[in-house]
Amino acid sequence: LFSRFSEQSGQFSENLREDVRGLQSLYEASQLAYVGETVLEEATAFSSEHLRARISHMEQRMSRQVQHALQVPLHRRVHRVKAREDIETFERTDRRSQVLHEFAWLDFNMVQTIHQREIRDLSG
């Protein structure tokens, strides 16, 4: 699986360090490692080192995504909180699609209302 990111020597490709999305994907995948899976441990070390080195050279949105990924990997996040963070990031950095932005907030609020109703029904 990780041969896509590796050279013939078995080391991770140095070309990958320029591919921020590839590094982030490698980092996220490596976070699913079990103790002793050396390939995934090496992937974590390689990807986190190169992501940290590139953060200051990234656009704001990507930098924020990478910082969040390094703090808390995607599979450990609460998905609704992640959705809200993404909506807020989009709101600050990209105003091209107001309709999409409004739809995202509407969806978020509708799901939140459903959850609140379910909690109220269970506790009442």
Q: pTM of the prediction?
A: 0.60
Binning the chain into helix, strand and coil, the percentages to the nearest 5 are: 75, 0, 20
Every domain of the chain and the residues it spans: 1-75, 78-124
**pLDDT confidence of residue 25:** 85
* Exposed/middle/buried for residue 14 (C-beta within 10 Å: 0-12, 13-18, 19+): exposed
Mean pLDDT of successive 10-residue segments in the chain (124 residues)?
68 80 86 83 89 89 85 73 75 72 85 89 86
**pLDDT confidence of residue 12:** 78
User: Taking the CA atoms of the chain, what radius of gyration do you get in angstroms?
Assistant: 18
Amino acid occupying residue 11: Q
Measured in degrees and rounded to the nearest 5, phi and psi for residue 11 equal -80, 155
Tell the CATH topology of 1-75: Glycosyltransferase (1.50.10)
